[in-house]
């Protein structure tokens, strides 16, 4: 399910992966990593499970575990790719986490706007901070009242 450590180091997971193993995207971009549980759906978080494997590995992005961390030097990564890609933003976090400053989120959206050749995907459980424009929208549902279908405002929902 997860890449081997050697593959992880080669691809620099957590930064920006050109070829994602996630079947519904092509690449990932993580200007933020880490998160906190906000609902029952967070109990089996793949990102936390992945990050916790690397606690104590010197120099690894998750050496300190799954604590929330901003990575400003990663902000411009999507601008380096010329070929259009479907990019999952913050595959290892929730972009709308309450401790991510609004101005940092605005910087992320500025980069997405400047990288018009790409389509960006954002998933969140924090719908109250969710105001993207020109971004493919989605949420992962669970039993928490704020993540249930029909509670997401005016956006049409598609379920599989």
pLDDT digits (tens, 9 = 90+) for 109-153: 999 999 999 999 998 888 778 665 545 556 666 666 665 555 444
Q: pLDDT at residue 157 above 80?
A: no
Q: If residue 86 lies in a helix (H) or strand (E), which one and from where to where? A: strand 86-89
Is the predicted pLDDT of residue 11 greater than 80, yes or no?
no
Please check the confidence at residue 95 and state whether its pLDDT lies above 60. yes
66-75, 97-106, 134-143: lowest mean pLDDT where? 134-143
Task: State pTM to two decimals.
Answer: 0.71
Please measure the distance between the N-terminal and C-terminal CA atoms of the chain and give it in whole angstroms. 22
CA-based nearest residue to 123, from 93, 101, 98? 93
Residues 13-32 pLDDT 10s? 444 566 677 878 899 999 99
Taking CA atoms, 134 is separated from 113, 118, 130, 131, in Å, by: 8, 11, 13, 10
pLDDT of residue 78: 96
What mean pLDDT comes out for the span 35-51?
Answer: 88
Beta-bridge mates of residue 88: 28, 121
**What are the residue ranges spanned by the domains of the chain?**
5-144
CB 86 within 8 A of CB 119: yes
Q: Tokens in use for 24?
A: 């519904």
The answer to whether residue 8 scores a pLDDT higher than 60 is no
pLDDT band at 74 (very low <50, low <70, confident <90, very high): very high
The HSE-up count of residue 132 (CA atoms within 13 Å, CB side) is: 26
């Amino acid at each position: 399910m997860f890449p081997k450590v050697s593959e992880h180091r080669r691809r620099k997971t957590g930064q920006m992966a050109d070829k994602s193993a996630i079947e519904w995207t092509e690449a990932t971009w993580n200007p933020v990593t880490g998160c906190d549980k906000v609902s029952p759906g967070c109990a089996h978080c793949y990102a936390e499970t992945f990050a916790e494997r690397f606690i104590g590995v010197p120099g690894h992005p998750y050496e300190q575990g799954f604590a929330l961390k901003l990575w400003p030097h990663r902000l411009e990564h999507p601008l380096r790719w010329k070929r259009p890609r479907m990019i999952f933003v913050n595959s290892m976090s929730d972009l709308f986490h309450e401790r991510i400053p609004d101005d940092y989120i605005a910087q992320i959206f500025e980069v997405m706007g400047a990288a018009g050749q790409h389509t960006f995907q954002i998933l969140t459980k924090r719908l109250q901070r969710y105001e993207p424009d020109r971004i493919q929208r989605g949420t992962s549902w669970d039993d928490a009242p704020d993540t249930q279908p029909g509670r997401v405002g005016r956006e049409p929902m598609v379920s599989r």
